[in-house]
């Protein structure tokens, strides 16, 4: 009897799955305003493959606090290291690891790495001075950022880009000849390529200027050049480390194979690129339009630069505006940043879903392999319903249920 019951249940589930896959109910693109933690502002700086957003939001006391937002749980305050403020800047591909900067009990700023099980971890410093984390690898194992370093010979503090791992701790990246300071802002999916900028000092003109860099363990630090002026800075890097984006002379750039490409503007005089998709084909950032206003943009290899406010005008109710796009998910589906939520009258973090739900093959974490992680993701969200569930709702029917489990099981091992 037990065997027959199990067989009948499997047949029923199989039928439900087949039915759902042949008649899915997909919903449309959306903009979600993420709100605050009780204060007046919020900013988003990172988004995972499955739509987990990180950034900072003001609490009721007006303090900036690092947050992690999910469709099912909303905005979560990640706390501090004993002080009163914190900010989050990077998130792993599965949304489980968050990095940023937080104040400790002594009032110092420290780079942190957060997980649900371990909470906020102080990553240490180079010499008990300040630091901040800006980027994290896809698996959450490698963290990059900047820490202060005291040079006893020069009797002064300098900023140094670092790369952190659990086994090696905080390691200083080598510096370009003649540079004064270095700052890391992004890291490739495997943690092998780091990007950022260095500062130089021109003694003859008493002038500081910055140059974008790309660092690898084998090739060391490389100056990426400029678009013709003196300055540049790198903010984002593709999954394989081959494409770098940033700003040079007030213009957004995309660098690949030694060539820096000017991405243009939206009709105004300036732009800056902050995020890039895993394949390097989609870039997001901020640009000035012909009216002199700052607007969030998306740039693609085939289509060039577009104003997200124009492309998704139908989603922007009550005159809301997307000011700046700070990051994009690996597959290009999700874009996050800062805008004006007209409904609340506040500057808030936003999550733009450019696809809505799209039926897929069970690769919930979008890493190209349908495996245990995808199965667990569905199980952990089992029973949830709504219209913004993310990839756990593999068949787009608005509920994470048996049919989604079977979608993963039927494709188990694909791409691995």
Classify residue 8: in a domain, yes or no. Answer: no
Structure tokens at 71: 């469709």
Give me the domain span that covers residue 332: 30-358
Q: Are residues 138 and 218 in the same domain?
A: yes
Whether 116 and 58 map to the same domain: the answer is yes
Answer yes or no: do 365 and 349 share one domain.
Answer: no
Range 301-307 average pLDDT: 95
Q: Which of 309, 336, 358 is the last residue of a domain?
A: 358
Last residue of a domain, one of 324, 343, 358: 358
Residues sharing a CB contact under 8 Å with residue 84, sequence separation 6 or more, in sequence order: 61, 63, 103
Indicate whether 234 pLDDT > 90: yes
Note the pLDDT of residue 133: 98
Q: Are 186 and 195 in contact (CB under 8 A)?
A: yes
Residue 250 placed within a domain: yes
379 with 345, same domain: the answer is no
Q: What pLDDT is recorded for position 15?
A: 42
* Token pair belonging to 213: 């860099």
Q: Phi and psi dihedrals of 148, rounded to 5?
A: -80, 145
Q: What secondary structure does DSSP assign to 128-189, as a single string? A: SS-EEEEEE-TTS--EEEEEEEEETTTTEEEEEEEEEETTTEEEEPP--TT-SEEEEEEE-T
Q: Look at residue 388 in the predicted model and tell me its pLDDT.
A: 58
CATH code of 66's domain: 2.120.10.30
- Domain shared by 330 and 366, yes or no: no
Contact 360, 391 (CB under 8 A): yes
* Same domain, yes or no: 345 and 389: no
> Does residue 70 lie within any of the structural domains?
yes
Q: Are residues 96 and 229 in the same domain?
A: yes
What does the pLDDT look like over 116-133, one tens digit per residue? 999 999 999 988 788 999
Token pair in block for residue 387: 């219209």
Lowest mean pLDDT segment, chosen from 251-255, 367-371, 407-411:
367-371
Let me know whether 282 and 331 are in one domain: yes
**What pLDDT does 153 receive?**
76
User: Is 24 inside any structural domain?
Assistant: no
Q: How far apart are CA 29 and CA 357, in angstroms?
A: 8
Across 290-318, average pLDDT: 96
Residue 273, domain member (yes or no): yes
Least confidently predicted of 221-235, 269-283, 371-385, 386-400: 386-400
DSSP, residue by residue, 289-352: ETTS-EEEEEEETTTEEEEHHHHTGGG-GGG-EEEEEEEE-TTS-EEEEEEEETTTTEEEEEEE
* Residues paired with 103 in a beta bridge: 109
Torsion 270-335-147-217 (CA) sign = negative
Instruction: Judge whether 286 and 338 are in contact, CB under 8 Å.
Output: no
Residue 120, SS3? strand
Domain count for the chain:
2
- Over residues 190-205, the mean pLDDT reads 93
Which residues have CB under 8 Å from 19's CB, separation 6+?
A: none
Residue 275 shares a structural domain with residue 326 = yes
Question: Which residues, at least 6 apart from 108, have a Cβ–Cβ distance to it below 8 Å?
Answer: 83, 129, 130
Task: Note whether 195 and 235 are within 8 A (CB).
Answer: yes
Supply the mean pLDDT for the chain: 90
pLDDT at 387 over 80: no
- What's the pLDDT score for residue 27? 54
Identify the DSSP state of 258: T
Considering only residues 396 and 294, tell me which one the structure prediction assigns the higher pLDDT. 294
Burial of 155 (0-12, 13-18, 19+ CB in 10 A): exposed
375 in the same domain as 330: no
pLDDT at 13 over 60: no
Whether 6 maps to a domain, the answer reads no
pLDDT at 239 over 60: yes
DSSP letter, residue 37: B
Residue 312 maps to a domain: yes
Domain end, chosen from 342, 358, 374, is at: 358
Per-residue pLDDT at 24 exceeds 50: no
Task: Give domain status of residue 143, yes or no.
Answer: yes
**Contacts of the segment 100-106: beta carbons below 8 A, 24+ positions apart:** 100/54, 100/56, 100/66, 100/132, 100/133, 101/131, 101/132, 101/133, 101/145, 102/66, 104/80, 105/81, 106/82
Do 292 and 187 have their domain in common? yes
Report the C-alpha gap between 168 and 14 in whole angstroms.
Answer: 48
369 and 295, same structural domain? Answer: no
Q: Mind listing the pLDDT tens digit for each residue in 133-173?
A: 999 999 999 999 999 988 777 778 889 999 999 999 999 99
Between these two residues, 208 and 285, which has the higher pLDDT value? Answer: 285
CATH number of 398's domain = 1.10.1330.10
Q: For 109-118, write each residue's pLDDT tens digit.
A: 999 999 999 9
């Amino acid at each position: 009897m037990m065997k027959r019951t199990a067989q009948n249940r499997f047949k029923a589930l199989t039928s439900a799955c087949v039915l759902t896959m042949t008649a899915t109910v997909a919903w449309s693109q959306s903009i979600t305003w993420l709100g605050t933690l009780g204060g007046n502002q919020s900013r988003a700086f990172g988004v995972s493959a499955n739509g987990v957003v990180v950034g900072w939001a003001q609490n009721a006391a007006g303090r900036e606090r690092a947050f992690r937002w999910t469709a099912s749980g909303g905005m979560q305050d990640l706390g501090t290291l004993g002080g009163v403020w914190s900010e989050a800047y990077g998130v792993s591909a599965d949304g489980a690891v968050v990095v940023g900067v937080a104040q400790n009990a002594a009032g110092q700023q420290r780079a942190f790495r957060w997980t649900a099980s371990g909470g906020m971890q102080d990553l240490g410093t180079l010499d008990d001075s300040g630091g901040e984390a800006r980027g994290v690898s896809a698996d959450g194992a490698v963290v990059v950022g900047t820490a202060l370093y005291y040079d006893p010979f020069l009797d002064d503090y300098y900023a140094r880009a670092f790369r952190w791992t659990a086994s090696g701790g905080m390691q200083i990246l080598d510096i370009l000849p003649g540079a004064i300071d270095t700052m890391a802002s992004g890291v490739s999916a495997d943690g092998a390529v780091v990007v950022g900028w260095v500062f130089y000092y021109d003694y003859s003109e008493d002038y500081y200027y910055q140059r974008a860099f790309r660092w690898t363990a084998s090739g060391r630090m490389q100056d990426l050049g400029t678009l013709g002026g003196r300055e540049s800075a790198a903010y984002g890097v593709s999954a394989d480390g081959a494409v770098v984006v940033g700003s040079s002379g007030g213009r957004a750039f995309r660098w690949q194979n030694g060539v820096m490409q000017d991405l243009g503007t939206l009709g105004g005089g300036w732009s800056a690129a902050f995020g890039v998709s895993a394949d390097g084909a989609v870039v997001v950032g901020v640009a000035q339009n012909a009216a002199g206003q700052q607007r969030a943009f998306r740039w693609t290899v085939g289509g060039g630069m577009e104003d997200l406010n124009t492309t998704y005008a139908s989603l922007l109710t009550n005159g809301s505006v997307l000011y700046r796009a700070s990051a994009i998910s690996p597959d290009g589906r999700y874009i996050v940043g800062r805008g004006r939520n007209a409904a609340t009258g506040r500057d808030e973090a936003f999550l733009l879903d450019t696809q809505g739900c799209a039926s897929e093959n069970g690769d919930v974490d979008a890493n190209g392999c349908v495996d245990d992680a995808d199965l667990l993701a569905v199980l952990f969200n089992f029973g949830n319903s709504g219209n913004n569930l993310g990839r756990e709702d593999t068949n787009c029917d608005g509920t994470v249920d048996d049919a989604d489990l079977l979608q993963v099981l039927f494709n188990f091992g694909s791409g691995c």
